[in-house]
Chains A and B, each alone.
Chain A
């Protein structure tokens, strides 16, 4: 292949994934924009945002890739009604790893802000927000990934190419929405 044909093919292949992440990213941005007062109420909250969003992408991207591979190998039936224990264990592993990483992010953020002498809402508030956000987004994302990848596979789409854009878009939107809800719940309960 010539350089030009490589570039044209790569460009065409990249457009759908980037369009999906563009829509998801802008929606997430609108949610973040709506959180300006929360960001002022909870000192240091912004420091947590990239870590929490990335965790969603990493954990549920890996869940999706795992399911896609199993579908390709015929190890998994693409029907939720026939979901076996293995699928439930994979989902449970994803949600618990997402929670562990989120709480870890709260600890690292607290330590980093403390050592830099920057204002921080404190470990308890950060951990509470991380746990609630991790649970809410985890349930939403695991459900979305399983249902959409199954449905896509039954309709003849390659689950491998479906997972990337799906997780980026849904991860950004559900990740930010869950964070907003978690922050509001924690503020309501007297944190921050």
Chain B
């Protein structure tokens, strides 16, 4: 695509339909967020956790999706559950989540202390962050593998569809999992 094709109309035609569908999905995750707004307002550290949990979940998915897409294009990926490429990437996703989410938990708690008081203990916030992260990593692997496989079966280029779909699905799952974990841990 030459840059002469860069017209507002052409770009909009390619982007807007997907964007509007994703917006509806994200409003769905906003509605879930709305159902535990009371808890989020009561405990500032949980409110601080919201964007970073959503963002990290989406990123875990998009990194994995980009790698599986490339492996698929290079012909080094088969969709067997014991495929080394698939299993190695799945393992790395879980390991990345277990590295990052403890830091996220401590960070959210610390920032809440600095900016107006944390009402939950550091241990509780870290527990919420790490449990959410571990569950989200597993879900990200499942969603990405399914989306990449579906794109492959339908003859679509995984680069075009899988990354936005996976990123936004993981965003939504980020909110749902955080909600479930908060309900279980805080009650």
Residues in A lying within 8 Å of B, measured CB to CB: 1-11, 13-15, 17-19, 21-22, 24-26, 28-30, 32-34, 36, 39-40, 44, 46-51, 53-55, 57-59, 62, 66, 69-70, 75-76, 84, 86-87, 89-90, 92-94, 96-97, 100-101, 104-105, 108-109, 112-113, 116, 118, 164, 168, 172, 176
Residues in B lying within 8 Å of A, measured CB to CB: 1-4, 6-8, 11-12, 15-16, 18-20, 22-24, 26-27, 29-31, 33-34, 37, 40-41, 44, 47-56, 58-60, 62-64, 66-67, 76, 84-85, 87-89, 91-93, 95-96, 99-100, 103-104, 107-108, 111-112, 115-116, 164, 167-168, 171-172, 175
Measured in the bound complex, the distance between the Cα atoms of B58 and A28 in whole Å is 15
Contact partner, A172, options B19, B55, B164, B172, Cβ 8 Å: B55
Q: Is the CB of B89 within 8 A of A10?
A: yes
Q: Is the CB of B52 within 8 A of A22?
A: yes
With A3-B91, A101-B16, A113-B34 known, 6 other A-B pairs at CB within 8 A are A18-B99, A49-B51, A86-B4, A93-B7, A93-B15, A164-B66
Task: Give the secondary structure class of B's interface.
Answer: helix
Contact partner, B88, options A6, A17, A36, A40, Cβ 8 Å: A6
Contact partner, A18, options B4, B60, B66, B67, Cβ 8 Å: B60
Contact partner, A4, options B12, B88, B107, B108, Cβ 8 Å: B88
Shortest beta-carbon distance from A150 to chain B in Å:
14
Q: Is the CB of A14 within 8 A of B52?
A: no
Contact A1-B88, Cβ < 8 Å, known A29-B50, A54-B26: yes
Report the 5 A-B pairs with minimum CB-CB distance, sorted nearest first.
A6-B88, A25-B52, A29-B48, A10-B92, A47-B30
Measured in the bound complex, the distance between the Cα atoms of B25 and A44 in whole Å is 16
Q: Is the CB of A76 within 8 A of B3?
A: yes
Contact partner, A55, options B19, B52, B88, Cβ 8 Å: B19
Q: Is the CB of A25 within 8 A of B104?
A: yes
Q: Is the CB of B47 within 8 A of A101?
A: no
Shortest beta-carbon distance from A118 to chain B in Å:
7
Which A residues touch B53, using CB under 8 A?
A: 25
Shortest beta-carbon distance from B59 to chain A in Å:
5
Contact partner, A15, options B11, B27, B62, B96, Cβ 8 Å: B96
Q: Is the CB of B96 within 8 A of A14?
A: yes
Which A residues touch B31, using CB under 8 A?
A: 47, 112-113, 116
Q: Is the CB of A75 within 8 A of B171?
A: no
Measured in the bound complex, the distance between the Cα atoms of B175 and A19 in whole Å is 20
Contact A39-B37, Cβ < 8 Å, known A11-B92, A53-B51: yes
Q: Is the CB of A75 within 8 A of B56?
A: no
Q: Is the CB of B59 within 8 A of A168?
A: yes
Which A residues touch B23, using CB under 8 A?
A: 51, 54-55, 101, 104-105, 108
Q: Is the CB of A7 within 8 A of B89?
A: yes
Contact partner, B108, options A10, A17, A26, Cβ 8 Å: A26
Which A residues touch B55, using CB under 8 A?
A: 21, 24-25, 28, 53, 168, 172
Q: Which of B47, B51, B93, B112 has the most CB of A within 10 A?
A: B51
Contact A7-B91, Cβ < 8 Å, known A58-B164, A96-B8: yes
Q: Is the CB of B6 within 8 A of A48?
A: no
Q: Is the CB of B111 within 8 A of A49?
A: no
Measured in the bound complex, the distance between the Cα atoms of B88 and A96 in whole Å is 41
Shortest beta-carbon distance from A27 to chain B in Å:
9
